[in-house]
Amino acid sequence: MAKILIHDEYVKSPDKLIKLCPFNAIEYMDSKLSINSGCKMCKLCVKQAPEIFEFVEAQIRGIHKEEWKGVAVYMDHVEGNIHPVSFELIGKARALAEKINHPVHAVLMGSHMEHAAEQILKYGVDEVFLYDDVALENFRIEPYAACFEDYILAHKPSIVLVGGTTIGRSLAPRLAARFRTGLTADCTFLDVQENTDLDQIRPAFGGNIMAHIHTPNHRPQFATVRYKIFDAPEMIKTPFGKITKCTLDQSLLKSQIDVLEVHAKEKSESIEDAEVIVVVGSAFKKKEDLNMAFKLADLLDARVASTRPLIEKGWMDAKLQIGLSGRTVRPKLIITCGVSGSVQFVAGMKGADQIMAINIDKEASIFNTAHYAIVGDIYEVLPKLIERIENERA
Ligand SMILES: Cc1cc2nc3c(=O)[nH]c(=O)nc-3n(C[C@H](O)[C@H](O)[C@H](O)COP(=O)(O)OP(=O)(O)OC[C@H]3O[C@@H](n4cnc5c(N)ncnc54)[C@H](O)[C@@H]3O)c2cc1C
Ligand code: SF4
């Protein structure tokens, strides 16, 4: 890491030097100047008192990229049921691996997971690394991290993809910190360069810019991706990969956590799984007016979802929010009603097969994303749409 060095021997007026820092990061204690964690590396102190403050560049650790080979996917599961995001990541891993001629690895931990490992092979991975032990029955961070670390140390994958699930979000940062490497969370686009550097793109600063992130000096390169960002690959008829059983010393499988009971979460059909979605936006003036959208959704066998303002008003459940700080959906059809099309909203739905937008303002940015545009008042368009569908059904 870069740092600011202090040459104490030249310090004459510490009070004046303290004032140089706009972030109160320079301190004077026990006749010594020091820099605290508030330092933003703005280098103002270096410019104003170069004889005292010296900026020292981070020492770049050399890395032999060719020694790191493989695109690995962490197979996220609860009680042996693999989360679909892991299959989506296998599809992306395959595409990346083909570009750099690397193998695709799946890393699976759990108890009695042989059947799951066989299933994974059907998605076209080259090798499943299976840590199967009763101690791994439930997810507990210490033994799972130990297995993952063991796999990385032994096989040195160049890229590690992890689903942006509750488990993945706990596991990936711990591993990235252990290997002193970078992790890009919630990527929405991934590609790879010839030199095996991963192109990681994700929205940043509230979705106003798309950050393009590289990890050029460290391996492996960790990225998490949320469910429904990529397509799951087709299953292959003749799996070609193999299962490699891995074991770890029992002392490394110990945990401070005892899982006493596992309660299944109440099952509710999530908007991520819906094939047709009707989205309600701020154009609705009263909560009761949402009934128009619910009626349309009933007719189309669709789910109703929402933009953020309606969640904030308490009109819709937070689980129904689409967007950057909500859910990502990829339905066959999405109909937005009175939605402006902010970047934060569009980030969560632009992967839909067909997008139809209803908005009174012909300049609304949702029309830049939509395949079908209806310029009109939802209070006129929705009743007409409902009537027409009802008539046609009749
Ligand atoms: C960090 C961050 C994260 C965010 N995350 C999300 C997120 O995940 N999801 C999300 O949705 N937002 C998110 N937002 C908020 C986002 O910026 C927008 O404010 C929000 O998406 C706007 O919602 P809207 O389109 O319903 O409302 P508005 O932007 O107010 O748009 C209402 C639209 O309705 C149209 N309209 C008005 N009356 C009618 C009518 N009678 N008939 C037809 N059309 C009409 C208007 O022309 C307008 O285009 C986030 C913001 C930040 C800063
Ligand atoms: S680099 Fe900037 S933030 Fe850090 S101590 Fe100097 S003036 Fe303060």
Indicate the residue type of 66: E
- Among 253, 285, 318, residue at a domain's last position: 253
The closest residue, in CA terms, to atom 2 on ligand 2 is 42
In ligand 2, which atom is closest to the CA atom of 43?
A: 1
DSSP 231: P
Low pLDDT (below 70) residues in the chain: 267-268
At 194 the pLDDT is: 96
266 domain residue, yes or no: no
Q: Is 141 exposed, middle or buried (0-12, 13-18, 19+ CB in 10 A)?
A: middle
* Ligand index nearest the alpha carbon of residue 348: 1
Name, in order, each residue with C-beta under 8 angstroms of 304's C-beta and a sequence gap of 6 or more. Answer: 277, 278, 279, 280, 290, 293, 294, 297, 316, 320
Find where tokens 């998605």 sit: 123
| The pTM of the whole model exceeds 0.85 | no
Distance CA 322, CA 113 (A): 34
260 domain residue, yes or no: no
Indicate the residue type of 310: L
61 domain residue, yes or no: no
Helix (H) / strand (E) containing 117: helix 114-121
At 98 the pLDDT is: 97
CA of 29 to the centre of ligand 2 (A): 17
Cα 171 vs. chain centroid, distance in angstroms?
13
213 domain residue, yes or no: yes
Q: Is the minimum distance from the CB of 329 to ligand 1 under 6 angstroms?
A: no
The closest residue, in CA terms, to atom 1 on ligand 1 is 206
* Ligand index nearest the alpha carbon of residue 346: 1
Domain count, the chain: 3
Name, in order, each residue with C-beta under 8 angstroms of 153's C-beta and a sequence gap of 6 or more. Answer: none
13 with 88, same domain? no
202 with 249, same domain? yes
Q: Would you tell me how many other CB atoms lie within 10 Å of the CB of residue 40?
A: 10
At 176 the pLDDT is: 97
The boundaries of the domain holding residue 285 are 271-393
147 with 245, same domain? yes
- Among 253, 285, 304, residue at a domain's last position: 253
DSSP 176: H
At 192 the pLDDT is: 98
233 with 328, same domain? no
- ω before 233 within 30° of 0 (cis)? no
48 with 95, same domain? no
221 domain residue, yes or no: yes
76 with 18, same domain? no
At 57 the pLDDT is: 86
> Which of helix, strand or coil describes residue 51?
coil
98 with 30, same domain? no
Indicate the residue type of 85: V
In angstroms, the Cα distances linking 19 to 13, 23, 49, 56, 86 are 11, 9, 12, 21, 52
261 domain residue, yes or no: no
At 209 the pLDDT is: 83
Q: CB of 304 within 8 A of CB of 278? A: yes
At 265 the pLDDT is: 75
> Hey, what are 30's tokens?
């026990």
CATH of the domain at 183: 3.40.50.620
Q: CB of 106 within 8 A of CB of 73? A: yes
CA of 227 to the centre of ligand 1 (A): 23
322 with 386, same domain? yes
CATH of the domain at 387: 3.40.50.1220
Q: Is the minimum distance from the CB of 378 to ligand 1 under 6 angstroms?
A: yes
The closest residue, in CA terms, to atom 35 on ligand 1 is 338
Q: Is the minimum distance from the CB of 41 to ligand 2 under 6 angstroms?
A: yes
29 domain residue, yes or no: yes
CA of 306 to the centre of ligand 1 (A): 9
> Which of helix, strand or coil describes residue 293?
helix
> Hey, what are 2's tokens?
């870069």
327 domain residue, yes or no: yes
* Ligand index nearest the alpha carbon of residue 33: 2
